[in-house]
Amino acid sequence: MAIGVIGGSGIQKLDVIIVKGEHSVDTPFGKPSSKIVEAELGGEKFYFLKRHGDGHIHNPSEINYRANIYALKSVGVTHLISISAVGSLKEELAPTTIVLPDQFIDWTKGKRERSFFQSGVVGHVSVAEPIDKKLQEATASACKKAGVKVSVGGSYICIEGPQFSTKAESNIYRSFGASVIGMTNVPECFLAVEAGMSYLTLAMVTDYDCWKDEHCTVEEIMKVMDSNYKSVQTILGHLIPTLAKNLPPRSLKNENVVMTNPALVSNKINEMIKVLMK
């Protein structure tokens, strides 16, 4: 079992790690966003992938989510920490707060491939509880050790982007009771569950979206992102060594989910399934 970290906006690198190597991985779904960095932190190994690619070149709907998850699984990742910048939909979740949501609302528009089970194979995986609770508890503890304000629970609503919401849309999302808004964790979270991974979103609040009548410039957001970047590195400094020494068992949701007659499944798809199920 191994730990993986996906870095989103503002987390293109990690200054606190020792880079041990890089893996260029081909997948049945094309190339992932970037090479997978094999890294060490506190003497413990983990893998790091840049969600938006080197230099932040992929917008949220251009990311090859299937390739990213498959590539991480193929190098052995079983526990995945997804670091993401988000807007807050609640007054109490101020900028610089770390939010650990436990639910997702998919408000994307059908442009993204959201399942491995297609093109000749059908599988149905439950995503009723997409976040691994043990991983969430360990991350909340690391946030507290780092002295960072953390809020556990709530829903992350994922929009297509790359534009931000209109004020009317932002108020609709607030009426749903959602806590934060982002552009990348769907279908990433669902694909991780299909791949048998324990998944955790570490959401860094940068602003109040646009529902709140509050002046917010790009420069101000960048200052918040810089603060969040420093916080995340401190959090990972506590989290990675602790997790690596005592990884919680996975609660597999992808066992016995394939509905297609095995005799009708191609060798290529069977190889893909083997990677997802291991």
Q: Which two tokens stand for residue 261?
A: 């007659």
Q: Which two tokens stand for residue 271?
A: 């190889």
Number of neighbours of residue 18 by Cβ within 10 angstroms:
11
Non-local (6+) Cβ contacts of 48 within 8 A are 4, 5, 6, 7, 14, 17, 36, 37, 39
Non-local (6+) Cβ contacts of 47 within 8 A are 2, 3, 4, 5, 23, 36, 37, 38, 39, 72, 75, 76, 77
- CA–CA dist 27, 66 (Å, integer): 9
User: How buried is 168 (Cβ within 10 angstroms: 0-12 exposed, 13-18 middle, 19+ buried)?
Assistant: exposed
Angle at 275 between CA 42 and CA 84, to 5 degrees: 50
Q: Which two tokens stand for residue 85?
A: 């910048």
Helix (H, G, I), strand (E, B) or coil at 262: helix
Q: Which two tokens stand for residue 169?
A: 């849309």
Catalytic residues: 207, 209
Non-local (6+) Cβ contacts of 34 within 8 A are 49, 50, 53, 54
The amino acid that residue 128 corresponds to is A
